[in-house]
Structure 1
Amino acid sequence: MNAPARLDPAVPGSAEAFIVANTRPLAPPLVPEILLYLAEESLPIWQKTEDELGQINVPPPYWAFAWAGGQALARYILDNAALLAGKRVLDLGAGSGLTAIAAMKAGAAETLAADIDRLALAAVLLNASHNGVVVRTTAEDLLAKPAEAWDVVLVGDLFYERALAEHVTRFIDEAVAGGALILIGDPQRNYFPKGRFTAAAEYRVPVTRELEDAEIKRTAVWRLG
């Protein structure tokens, strides 16, 4: 029997081995074209992350789940590929990389997946490879600096905390001023800035009650710019 993966960010390949050992390839219900390394339960993988890192208060493994906003946004991207074809795309708070992968499948010239969680970035690269696309990644906190010029900025489910929502909104405003199209997938979580964006599509997204308050989450894709 193989020894269990031990998570050590300083060891090359450790994060990837941890992800493969503790998730399995699954297709998000709304986006069956894409397979992601996903966890089937939240608490076990969260506890395992803390145990293997030897830390407590580790952030939740957002990368291990296909959230409603990300699924809706990925579906919209694949169904409206002309919006991204040939474009430079930023996936802000990439998580599993679902929307970054959808962008590349839609014909984007390049996509940068940004997330401050290095486990998330390892998941993005694994998931991108599994789906036959190439996605660049960065662990830089892009919300802490002025927004760079992008053709399209993707935002999936980032309005769940007040401070984060404020930073994301500021980044969006700067990106739009720089000429970017903003596409947001969000079920109007607590800090979603209502009245600022135009609804482009609405979906009924199958989710799990372990993560959400219903088995079907009504989720919209919003546009700005």
Structure 2
Amino acid sequence: MTAGPQDRAAFIRANTAPEAPALVPEVTLLTATEITPLWQATEDTLAAKDLPPPFWAFPWAGGQAVARHVLDHPELVRGRRVLDFAAGGGLIAIAAAKAGAAAVTAVEIDAYAIAATALNADLNSVAVTAVEIDVVGQPLPDIDVVLVGDVCYERPMALRVMAWLRGLAGTGVLVLMGDPGRTYLPKDGLTALATYRVPTTLELEDRTHRDSVVWRVEP
């Protein structure tokens, strides 16, 4: 059985609670407290197997750093068209909207993440267009700024995404990426803009804090 939009929204509401990320108290997200029970509940409740982990239910360190940076430096997005890539629950997209972006689009390949982003945008009274699509490799003629959090944790994904982001930067798009020291972060082609110490949970990380850097991706 494939869950429909209403099923996904109902499931998210039933298995999460509103909570402000530690580094971004201006934003409220529907958040889970433990990753494994939620993952199992997704399969049990909706009779679906081989679902992706519910990354959308947690504010990850890289995303928190980008959201914080955008709220602290709204001139980066104010009046501009913004894309939140691999949006998860939409934290970065919501921060960009709050910072005055002209339009915000959040993209994901996980239908539950899209549902969570829509719910979270409503919860924060901001306008975000959430789209289930794989945009890697595609041009983005209607986007001025791309914001990315925490995508360098797997080698194939990191290589594919970084090549695309560098290409976008070469067309004049401002590309900002948050990373808390993931294994496959490139060693060059990045300019550090700021570092944030992000409180984390041992349910998700191997430590209680991570120092997350906001990088500008260079062409």
Q: TM-score, normalised by structure 2?
A: 0.96
Instruction: Say if 1:113 and 1:138, in contact at 8 Å, map to a contact too.
Output: yes
Per the TM alignment, residue 40 of structure 1 is displaced from its structure 2 partner at its CA by: 0.5
- Any idea what SS the aligned residue of 2:89 has? coil
Measure, in 2, the Cα distance between the counterparts of 1:80 and 1:61. Answer: 30
Structure 2 residue identity aligned to 1:215: T
Counterpart position of 1:176:
169
Measure, in 1, the Cα distance between the counterparts of 2:47 and 2:152. Answer: 29
- Any idea what SS the aligned residue of 2:69 has? helix
Q: Which runs of 5+ in 1 are unaligned?
A: 1-6
Measure, in 2, the Cα distance between the counterparts of 1:209 and 1:88. Answer: 35
Measure, in 2, the Cα distance between the counterparts of 1:203 and 1:31. Answer: 11
Residue 217 (structure 1) aligned to one of 207, 210, 214:
210
Give per-residue Cα distances to partners, 1:168-209, cap 9 Å, x unaligned: 112101211221011111112011112221110001100101
Q: Which runs of 5+ in 2 are unaligned?
A: none
Measure, in 2, the Cα distance between the counterparts of 1:74 and 1:209. Answer: 21
Instruction: Say if 1:146 and 1:174, in contact at 8 Å, map to a contact too.
Output: no
RMSD: 1.2
Instruction: Say if 2:2 and 2:48, in contact at 8 Å, map to a contact too.
Output: no
Counterpart position of 2:154:
161
Residue 138 (structure 2) aligned to one of 142, 146, 151:
146
Counterpart position of 1:9:
3
4+ aligned runs moved over 4 Å, structure 1: none
Task: Indicate yes or no: 2:190 matched with 1:197.
Answer: yes
Measure, in 2, the Cα distance between the counterparts of 1:16 and 1:60. Answer: 17
Q: TM-score, normalised by structure 1?
A: 0.93
- Any idea what SS the aligned residue of 1:33 has? coil
Instruction: Say if 2:166 and 2:217, in contact at 8 Å, map to a contact too.
Output: no
Residue 201 (structure 2) aligned to one of 208, 213, 217:
208
Per the TM alignment, residue 14 of structure 1 is displaced from its structure 2 partner at its CA by: 1.2
Percent identity (aligned) = 50
Per the TM alignment, residue 97 of structure 1 is displaced from its structure 2 partner at its CA by: 0.1
Measure, in 1, the Cα distance between the counterparts of 2:184 and 2:49. Answer: 27
Per the TM alignment, residue 8 of structure 1 is displaced from its structure 2 partner at its CA by: 4.8
Superposed, 1:1-225 pairs within 5 Å as 8-10=2-4, 12-143=5-136, 145-149=137-141, 150-225=143-218
